[in-house]
């Protein structure tokens, strides 16, 4: 445990350094944007420093996120495991998934960095940085830290384990299975099933058992590269180069910046002030508090974009108020869960940024296309709440105001105007083409800091919290992207992409059947795994099929985003339901939550159908 303590400290210092770099990245991008737009003074070197900082943030954060168990897992069964079972899963995850994948990646990335050093590689742009090998070496260093932290996690989990004999029995069983697989490979036995299906089956089983998502995809790719003769380990030699391409993706730089902005706003008491003010503003109308929850959810979606934070905040603040005044538990919980998931769709949604990257689309175009579907959902939610309140007066009673309405209105406007100005500045600059999503996100960070200062809560503790959590979330997202990239390399080498294309264009040959099947698969997968995994693994398979059918890719991306939002609510595995129940505790039963969200799921599917039937609606704000 003493050795584990020192190994953990390496990850701790790496994570804290990455947190400092998050702040530096935000300030640097803001400065660069202002200099270019106000004084026409741009710098290629400065822009390259920005993406180098972005790379260092998620690479140094990989081990830090593992130390804090922030690499997401499907915890449907995992959370019910006994402590010993959890410890064994963690040990197996490190020994069988993280360590082998990291070793392979380090070896290939070291060759890439060494080649860059020997060739004295410099920037291809005039005025760019020299010594390109340094940032490639950070790629190696990040995975070395991840490997070291994996060893520490083995020590910690083994120390917690009481039934150590069970671990050794399982390890013996794993060794026997590995021996049988090796013998089958050595004797060139044919697969009983197509390896493409086996890849998905193995990944799904490991995910459901509770292994971390990113490492499941990476290790599954490594396993099939080893046992499939038509693939081989040489396929994964391209992985560091693909990862380096991700590192240079300016669009993806918006992800940590929007997360940072959202986390600052989360801690700035903005949501609390909004809910209190809006609740009083609409409280005198039957269903008014639930309507205010929807409107606040929309504002939070357009400012923070963090579903979990929105649902938890509204559960802690609005749910007790609604229950106290006699609201139906199902209507109260349903409105909170549905409103919290608006962050999946309403810009600046992280979902849309990731979809834009994976589908090679303009993020600004996706943001504009998502506005009408977002407004449509808000209108449907409000109409439903008002209808329920009209026909069932006991489900959503009016609240008697304690203050004059003029004073309530003044207080509400004071709470609403600052975040709306921030939203207008961030999204408006993207929509009119003044700034890129990355630049707007950086300006949004400064605006969020200003709002926190306006609310008199801005301090170093808040900044540290937001920066550290940004590192953890960013590292988690990009580790999934790296794992999914490895999975895609092997999947395509096995012919999976061609198989899917042939199935839909040859055997089915109908675009509406393809759309129906694709939406159904994404909807079902959304029950079990997060949008990030779906976007990084499933969406790239669909992209060439979308192109072959001549389907509008922006419209299709919006359908995916709306679909993923619906899956966030679907019982029994909807993530928003877990967030709500965790925050509400015994205030509301699981059954009431399930009954509450069903009408909102129906409304989301209705909105999806409307966009399917009237695709031009997404272009009301321009193409």
pLDDT value at residue 220: 92
Q: Are residues 377 and 242 in the same domain?
A: no
- Rounded Cα distance between 149 and 8, Å, is 6
Q: Indicate the DSSP class of residue 93.
A: I
pLDDT value at residue 582: 66
Lowest mean pLDDT among 72-76, 163-167, 174-178: 72-76
Q: Are residues 274 and 319 in the same domain?
A: yes
pLDDT value at residue 583: 66
pLDDT value at residue 107: 93
The model's confidence at residue 434, banded by pLDDT at 50, 70 and 90, is confident
pLDDT value at residue 424: 81
pLDDT digits (tens, 9 = 90+) for 41-66: 777 888 888 889 999 999 999 999 99
Q: Are residues 315 and 400 in the same domain?
A: yes
- pLDDT, mean of residues 550-561: 92
DSSP calls for 493-525:
HTTHHHHHHHIIIIII--HHHHHHHHHHHHHHH
Q: Are residues 224 and 268 in the same domain?
A: no
Percent of the chain with pLDDT over 70: 94
- Rounded Cα distance between 403 and 400, Å, is 9
Checking if the pLDDT of 497 tops 80, the result is: no
- Domain annotation covers residue 84: yes
Among positive and negative, which fits the CA dihedral 462, 467, 469, 473?
positive
- Domain annotation covers residue 480: no
pLDDT value at residue 37: 74
Q: Which residues does 119 contact at the CB level (< 8 Å), separation at least 6?
A: none
- pLDDT, mean of residues 589-609: 88
The SS3 assignment for 197 reads helix
Decide: 405 and 220 in contact? Cβ < 8 Å.
Answer: no
Decide: 575 and 530 in contact? Cβ < 8 Å.
Answer: yes
Q: Indicate the DSSP class of residue 392.
A: -
Q: Are residues 339 and 300 in the same domain?
A: yes
Q: Are residues 238 and 266 in the same domain?
A: no
Phi, psi of 73 (to 5 degrees): -135, 155
pLDDT value at residue 157: 92
Lowest mean pLDDT among 14-28, 260-274, 532-546, 548-562: 260-274
- Rounded Cα distance between 185 and 174, Å, is 16
Q: Are residues 241 and 278 in the same domain?
A: no
**In angstroms, what CA-CA distances link 556 with 360, 361, 538?**
13, 11, 14
Decide: 562 and 335 in contact? Cβ < 8 Å.
Answer: no
Question: Domain boundary residue among 248, 277, 298?
Answer: 248
pLDDT digits (tens, 9 = 90+) for 301-321: 777 666 666 676 677 777 887
- Rounded Cα distance between 264 and 270, Å, is 10
pTM: 0.81
Q: Are residues 91 and 205 in the same domain?
A: yes
The model's confidence at residue 530, banded by pLDDT at 50, 70 and 90, is low
Tokens for 533, please give them: 């995994």
- Rounded Cα distance between 52 and 608, Å, is 39
- Domain annotation covers residue 469: no
Q: Are residues 73 and 196 in the same domain?
A: yes
- Domain annotation covers residue 471: no
- Domain annotation covers residue 357: yes
**In angstroms, what CA-CA distances link 51 with 7, 68, 132?**
28, 25, 12
pLDDT value at residue 522: 83
H helix runs in 569-589, sequence order: 575-584
Lowest mean pLDDT among 232-241, 276-285, 445-454: 276-285
The residue range of the domain holding 449 is 252-458+494-619
- pLDDT, mean of residues 513-521: 87
Checking if the pLDDT of 229 tops 90, the result is: no
**In angstroms, what CA-CA distances link 340 with 262, 297, 302, 451?**
14, 5, 11, 21
Q: Which residues does 120 contact at the CB level (< 8 Å), separation at least 6?
A: none
- Rounded Cα distance between 243 and 252, Å, is 12
The model's confidence at residue 136, banded by pLDDT at 50, 70 and 90, is very high
Q: Are residues 143 and 257 in the same domain?
A: no
- Domain annotation covers residue 126: yes
- Rounded Cα distance between 372 and 378, Å, is 10
Checking if the pLDDT of 573 tops 70, the result is: no
Which residue carries 């709440």 as its tokens?
A: 385
Q: Are residues 213 and 271 in the same domain?
A: no
pLDDT digits (tens, 9 = 90+) for 332-381: 889 988 888 888 888 878 788 888 888 888 888 898 999 999 999 999 99
Q: How far apart are the first and last CA of the chain?
A: 58
pLDDT value at residue 310: 67
Question: Domain boundary residue among 248, 263, 285?
Answer: 248
- Rounded Cα distance between 623 and 616, Å, is 10
- Domain annotation covers residue 26: no
pLDDT value at residue 552: 93
- Domain annotation covers residue 24: no
Q: Are residues 328 and 186 in the same domain?
A: no
pLDDT value at residue 259: 82
pLDDT value at residue 529: 66
Rounded to the nearest integer, the mean pLDDT of the chain is 84
pLDDT value at residue 507: 66
Question: Domain boundary residue among 248, 264, 292?
Answer: 248
Number of structural domains (the chain) is 2
Percent of the chain with pLDDT over 90: 26
């Amino acid at each position: 445990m003493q050795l584990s303590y020192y190994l953990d400290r390496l990850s701790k210092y790496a994570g804290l350094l990455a947190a400092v770099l998050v702040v530096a990245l935000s300030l640097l991008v803001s400065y660069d944007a202002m200099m270019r737009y106000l004084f026409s003074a741009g710098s290629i070197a400065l822009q390259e420093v920005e993406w180098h900082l972005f790379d260092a943030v998620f690479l140094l954060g990989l081990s830090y996120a593992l130390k804090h168990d922030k690499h997401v897992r499907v915890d449907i069964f995992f959370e019910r495991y006994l402590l010993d079972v959890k410890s064994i899963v963690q040990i197996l995850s490190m020994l069988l998934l993280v360590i082998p994948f990291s070793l392979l990646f380090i070896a290939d990335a070291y060759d890439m960095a060494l080649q860059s050093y020997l060739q004295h590689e410099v920037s291809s742009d005039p005025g760019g940085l020299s010594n390109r090998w340094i940032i490639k070496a950070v790629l190696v260093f990040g995975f070395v830290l991840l490997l070291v932290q994996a060893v520490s996690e083995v020590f910690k989990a083994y120390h917690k384990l009481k039934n150590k004999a069970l671990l050794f029995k399982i390890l013996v069983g794993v060794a026997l299975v590995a021996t049988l697989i090796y013998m089958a490979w050595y004797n060139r036995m044919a697969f009983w099933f197509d390896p493409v299906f086996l890849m998905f089956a193995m990944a799904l089983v490991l995910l459901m058992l509770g292994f971390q998502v990113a490492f499941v995809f990476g290790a599954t790719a490594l396993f099939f590269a080893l046992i499939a003769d038509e693939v081989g380990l040489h396929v994964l030699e391209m992985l560091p180069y693909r990862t380096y391409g991700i590192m240079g993706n300016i669009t993806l730089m918006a992800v940590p910046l929007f997360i940072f902005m959202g986390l600052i706003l989360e801690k700035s008491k903005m949501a609390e002030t909004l809910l209190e003010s809006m609740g009083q503003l609409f409280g005198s109308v039957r269903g008014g508090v639930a309507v205010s929850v929807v409107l606040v959810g929309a504002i939070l979606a357009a400012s923070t974009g963090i579903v979990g934070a929105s649902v938890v905040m509204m559960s802690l603040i609005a749910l007790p108020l609604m229950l106290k005044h006699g609201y139906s538990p199902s209507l109260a919980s349903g409105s909170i869960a549905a409103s919290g998931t608006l962050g999946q769709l309403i810009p600046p949604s992280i979902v849309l940024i990731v979809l834009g990257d994976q589908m090679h689309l303009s993020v600004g175009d996706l943001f504009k296309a998502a506005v009408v579907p977002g407004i449509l959902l808000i209108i449907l939610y409000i109409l439903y709440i008002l209808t329920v309140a009209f026909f069932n007066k006991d489900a959503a009673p009016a609240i008697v105001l304690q203050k004059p309405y003029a004073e309530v209105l003044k207080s509400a406007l004071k709470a609403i105007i600052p975040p709306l100005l921030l939203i207008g500045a961030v999204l408006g600059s993207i929509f009119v083409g003044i700034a890129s999503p990355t630049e707007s996100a950086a300006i949004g960070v400064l605006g969020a800091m200003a709002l926190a200062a306006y609310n008199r809560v801005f301090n170093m503790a808040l900044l540290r919290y937001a920066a550290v959590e940004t590192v953890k979330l960013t590292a988690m997202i990009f580790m999934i992207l790296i794992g999914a990239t490895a999975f895609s390399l092997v999947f395509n080498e096995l012919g999976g992409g061609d198989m899917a294309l042939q199935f839909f264009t040859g055997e089915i040959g109908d675009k509406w059947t393809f759309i129906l099947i694709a939406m159904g698969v994404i909807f079902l997968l959304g029950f079990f795994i997060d949008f990030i995994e779906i976007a990084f693994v499933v969406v790239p398979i669909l992209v060439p099929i979308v192109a072959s059918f001549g389907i509008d890719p922006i419209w299709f991306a919006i359908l995916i985003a709306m679909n993923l939002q619906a899956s966030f609510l679907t019982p029994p595995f909807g993530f928003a339901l877990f967030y709500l129940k965790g925050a509400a505790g015994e205030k509301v039963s699981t059954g009431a939550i399930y009954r509450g969200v069903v009408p909102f799921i129906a409304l989301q599917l209705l909105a999806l159908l409307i966009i399917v039937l009237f695709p031009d609606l997404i272009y009301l704000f321009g193409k």
